[in-house]
Structure 1
Amino acid sequence: MTSYNPKDWISFIFQLSKGDTFRKLIPMMVIIGIYSGGIGYLEIEYWHLPDSSHVKNISIMHGMLGFVISLLLAYRTNTAYDRWWEGRKLWGGLVNNSRNLAIKLSIILQDEKDRNFFRKVIPTYASVLHKHLNDSETGMQLFDDVDLEIDHHKHKPNQVAKILFQKINDLYVSNKITGDQLIILNTEIQSFTDICGACERIKNTPIPYSYSAFIKKFIFIYVLTLPFGYVFSLGYYVIPVVVFIFYVLASLELIAEEIEDPFGTDANDLPTRKMAENIKKHVEELI
């Protein structure tokens, strides 16, 4: 995750970061600029279209569709951010639950061997979940056209949770903890699996294909038709205007694409590896 000062406007305006959409869109912006210049040349120099030409009225369509495309992009960005924020809340819950489990075990357990076991295994769950969510196959489990040879016995977060509960049950059988304490500790371990399942739901359920494809096609057609009408009033200045409009619209779509999967490796994705390291540090302090 990129660290920044939200009050430093100068760095926002003039600095190009790794996650900046401008770098990614440069090739397409150049192509759109050349295309706009070509349309301007044809209408002004070659076809000599008069101001009374009906082609000029194409700009009416853009005024009508501008409101529609703004609503679509606003909904698209908000939906993607909701997924990012839900992922952040889930990992925040994992941090708190790991601390709570460590605090309770630090009081309940007296045997140093048992304490050392949980000191190592509790942070292991967060670390394994981080790697599990960064695995590309995790995000393709629900795709109909992808055939994955998945061994469900190798679902690593489940295996770590099983080891944790097995140890808790062994402590109960050996009378090191009471039945009430077993129930309390079981609730904490169950929350780990609930968080894992919720993260997997975000990971392997992308925005519906038809919706995402429609927005991209809409932006592309909208931008390609801009030079036809605005060249009458802007002349060759239509080139930077159209390029800028494309940059704004395409950037919103790129940002939404990046944050809708918060468990990846993009610049604005959640720092799950750092969170797992913090869990390890906190658990070792508590137990």
Structure 2
Amino acid sequence: MLLNNKISITFFVQNILRQALLIFLYANVVVFLKLFSPWALVIPISIAAILGTCIALLLAFRTNQAYDRWWEARIAWGAIVNDSRSLIRQLQMFLDEGPHKVSLLHAFVERQCAWCFVLGDTLRGQDITERLREFLPSPDRQRLAEATNKPNAILLAHGLAIRQLFDSQQLTDYQMVQLSTNLNSLTDSMGRCERIKKTIFPRTYIFNMQVFIYLFATILPFCLDPVHYLLDVPLVTLLSSAFILIEKSALQLQDPFEGKPTDTPITTIAQTIEIDLKSMTDYPIIPDKPVTKDFYSL
């Protein structure tokens, strides 16, 4: 996620550098043809103006759609933060004081932290071996190795542990329902993230948008006066590059789980959850808060 810090200009330039150079070279060729060739095509500026207005409206709609997907992902992870805290707080309230309460709480904390990190890494297609080794004991890791959906398997382990507490009469039926409802909320948030990840934005819409932008860049040099060369070529390049940059920004926002600077900061959120849960249960060692040195967090 981009932060409220000074963003390097190279972040924007590197996204459109190749296209901007091609447009710059193309605009130079067209201007030289208009200056030295009697057969150069002249197009009324009103055509480019109408096309540019249509592109601007379509880009606004396109960007809003992409932001909605990004924002839905952020809402889902915000709910994960709240439900994770609620799960541990409820267990602290429901379990009776005794010699095993701390170990039981720590087992749930480790599983919940593992679930948050594993869910985030799975959404980004990253290896989760180190995450499992960090938070879970060997028997749990072996059971998870056989699961096709690792985050869902961890939630199942949560549920089975809660059932064991109920069977041993450490939880009432009402308390088990409350904890089960919390697990259902976590499952819903996981499902929303998986839906966003697996639902592909229509490629035809992206293709059509790009066609309109490059059509605009193609006809714009024919609409300007070639006499003002020092103004025409930079103007064509800047206007076309602006449309391309906005379109690429929408492309980045529409996929919030790809390990890019514009991602939903799921790793940072998981680290925050780990700190909160371990602070709530009096861990002797609590991780430091993540420090972001760049202009984005993942």
Please classify the TM superposition score into its range, dividing by the shorter chain length.
0.7 to 0.9
Q: 1:241 aligns with which of 212, 235, 239?
A: 235
Indicate the residue corresponding to 2:9 in structure 1.
16
For residues 204-224 of structure 1, what are the alpha-carbon distances to aligned partners after superposition, in whole Å with 9 as ceiling and x for unaligned?
112211111100111111111
Compare 204-213 and 110-119 and name the one that shifted more.
110-119
- Identify the range of structure 1 (224-233 vs 184-193) with the bigger mean alpha-carbon deviation: 224-233
Matches within 5 A, 1:165-180: 165-180=159-174
Structure 2 equivalent of residue 140 of structure 1: none
Deviation at 1:21, TM superposition (A): 2.4
SS of the residue corresponding to residue 268 of structure 1 reads coil
Structure 2: state its 5+ residue gaps. 127-144, 282-298
TM alignment of 1:1-287, pairs within 5 A: 1-5=1-5, 11=6, 15-17=8-10, 20-47=11-38, 55-110=41-96, 111-135=101-125, 153-232=147-226, 234-235=228-229, 237-287=231-281
Which residue does 1:148 correspond to in 2?
none
Q: Contact 1:73–1:253 at 8 Å: present in 2 too? A: yes
Root mean square deviation, CA, Å: 2.1
TM-score by structure 2 length?
0.82
1:87 to 1:45, Cα distance in 2 relative to 1, 3 A: same
Deviation at 1:48, TM superposition (A): 6.8
**C-alpha separation between the residues in 1 aligned to 2:162 and 2:103?**
13
Task: Tell which deviates more after alignment, 231-240 or 62-71.
Answer: 231-240
In structure 1, the residue corresponding to 2:224 is in which secondary structure?
helix
Where in structure 1 do 4 or more consecutive aligned residues deviate above 3 Å? 55-58, 231-236
Normalized against structure 1, the TM-score is what? 0.85
> How big is the shift at 1:261?
1.0
Aligned residue for 2:215, secondary structure, equals helix
Q: Residue type matched to 1:121 in 2?
A: R
CA deviation after TM superposition for structure 1 residue 120, in Å: 1.0
Deviation of 1:152 (Å): 9.2
Cα distance, 1:235 vs. partner? 3.9
Q: Between Structure 1 and Structure 2, how many residues are aligned?
A: 260
Identical aligned residues as a percent: 29
Q: SS state of the match for residue 47, structure 1?
A: coil
Q: Which amino acid aligns with 1:107?
A: M
2:267 is aligned with what amino acid? R
- Once the two structures are superposed, residues 170-228 of structure 1 have per-residue CA deviations (whole angstroms, 9 ceiling, x without a partner) of 11111110000010000001111110110111111122111111001111111111111
SS at match of 1:154: coil
CA distance in 2, matches of 1:125, 1:42: 62
How far did residue 269 of structure 1 move? 1.1
Relative to total residues, which structure has the larger helix share, 1 or 2? 1
Q: Give, in whole Å, the separation in 1 of the partners of 2:21 and 2:43.
A: 26
Q: 2-side partners of 1:152 and 1:38: how far apart? A: 61
Instruction: State whether residues 123 and 279 of structure 1, in contact with CA within 8 Å, keep that contact through their aligned partners in structure 2.
Output: yes
Moved more, 225-234 or 96-105: 225-234
Give the SS at the match of 1:3. coil
> Deviation at 1:92?
0.5
Which range moved further: 96-105 or 62-71? 62-71
> Mean alpha-carbon deviation: is it higher for 257-266 or for 227-236?
227-236
**Runs of 5+ in structure 1 lacking a partner?**
6-10, 50-54, 137-150
Q: 1:60 to 1:24 in 2, by over 3 A?
A: same
Distance verdict in 2 for CA 1:64–1:152, change over 3 Å: farther
**Alpha carbons 1:98, 1:279 under 8 Å: kept:** yes
Q: Which amino acid aligns with 1:66?
A: G
